[in-house]
């Protein structure tokens, strides 16, 4: 497996991403995945928000945007998968190059911009999946949408995916869609959550709803978010998305690259936000993500208050063996 990881590192980032996931798919269909990443069976089931998880480790949104690799990823031993971010209509995303890998610091900067094949394509994939674990769907707004249309984008996705999702994540925290993070503002967020709540009640949508937040918010902003979540039908928070703060990078050539930073340099910042939310709300359901590249990071997220933990960049850099490493006793 290390040989293939070295080969993938020589390829352009998006090519490597596509090739590696398609390779997993082929191995899955040939029933050969166990040769590169043994699926460690676990009896440590975890009950959370009415859902039963085989374990607490899952994939973060962005790894499988379109649901093309649900069964292959599920066969690696994840307790749950989160697909997306998906938007109402397909979009290419931002211009290339838009992914930059910093292997020396186990990190990636991306400015993808919600590139995806659209919600209807994802729904087809969800209908045909064989994976019997928990599936979350991360929803967003199209880049071209503004004002009320942006809110309507979330409502369109919510209506189309809820029947095929175990939970739904509302993504307001990508730094790569212009002005999206303005939805963290109290009045804007109250409007969004209220609109989603009305839609959920009108459509009798029962699945848990999570809000994915930015690590770049102040504690004052997070206090406001906690208050709004507690006053809504939303279940909890996913903390956090990528950061635009790159000041802790040692490789200075990456500091001025526009986009969201993920991977090891995000670990401290994202975990501090997670810990702060837990300190302010003992019973807030929390999913921790950001910077997990090994078992110690995974355990640190749990100790900071996460009920579940997601990985993405660590999986890309370390390979599928990371799953069994984290889940090993």
Q: Which of 126, 114, 68, 61 is CA-nearest to residue 90? A: 114
Helices (H), ranges, the chain: 2-10, 13-29, 70-74, 119-128, 147-161, 186-202, 219-230, 267-280, 295-303, 313-318, 321-327
Handedness of CA 326, 122, 199, 217 (dihedral sign): positive
Length of the chain: 329
55 touches 44 (CB < 8 A): yes
Q: At what angle do helices 13-29 and 2-10 cross, to 10 degrees?
A: 140
d(CA 34, CA 114): 32
Beta-bridge mates of residue 53:
46
Active-site residue flag, 174: yes
- Catalytic pick from 145, 173, 174, 281? 174
227 touches 245 (CB < 8 A): no
Report the half-sphere exposure of 165 (CA within 13 A, side-chain side).
29
Q: Render the burial of 250-272: b for 16+ CB within 10 Å, e for the rest.
A: eeeebeeeebbbbbbbbbebbbe
- Residues identified as active-site: 174
């Amino acid at each position: 497996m290390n040989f293939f990881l070295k080969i993938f590192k020589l390829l352009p980032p998006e090519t490597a991403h596509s090739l590696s996931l398609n390779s997993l798919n082929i191995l899955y269909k040939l029933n050969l995945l166990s040769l590169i990443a043994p699926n460690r069976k676990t009896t440590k089931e975890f009950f959370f928000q009415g859902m039963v998880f085989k374990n607490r480790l899952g994939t973060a949104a962005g790894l499988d945007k379109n649901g093309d690799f649900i069964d292959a990823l599920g066969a690696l031993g994840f307790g749950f998968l989160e697909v997306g971010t998906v938007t109402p209509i397909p979009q290419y995303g931002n211009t290339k190059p838009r992914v930059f890998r910093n292997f020396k610091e186990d990190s990636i900067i991306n400015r993808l911009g919600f590139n995806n094949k659209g919600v209807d394509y994802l729904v087809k994939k969800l209908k045909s999946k064989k994976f019997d674990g928990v599936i979350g769907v991360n929803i967003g707004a199209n880049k071209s949408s503004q004002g009320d249309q942006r809110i309507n984008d979330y409502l369109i996705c919510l209506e189309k995916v809820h029947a095929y999702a175990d939970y739904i994540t509302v993504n307001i925290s990508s730094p790569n869609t212009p002005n999206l993070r303005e939805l963290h503002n109290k009045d804007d967020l109250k409007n969004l959550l209220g609109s989603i709540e009305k839609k959920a009640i009108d459509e009798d949508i029962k699945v848990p709803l999570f809000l994915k937040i930015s690590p770049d918010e102040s504690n004052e902003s997070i206090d406001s978010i906690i208050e709004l979540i507690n006053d809504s039908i939303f279940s909890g928070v996913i903390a956090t998305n990528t950061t635009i703060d790159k000041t802790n990078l040692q490789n200075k050539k990456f500091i001025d690259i526009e986009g969201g930073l993920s991977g090891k340099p995000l670990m401290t910042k994202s975990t501090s936000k997670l810990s702060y939310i837990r300190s302010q709300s003992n019973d807030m359901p929390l999913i921790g993500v950001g910077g997990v590249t090994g078992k110690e990071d995974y355990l640190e997220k749990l100790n900071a208050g996460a009920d579940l933990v997601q990985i993405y960049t660590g999986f890309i850099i370390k390979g599928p063996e990371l799953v069994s490493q984290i889940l090993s006793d």
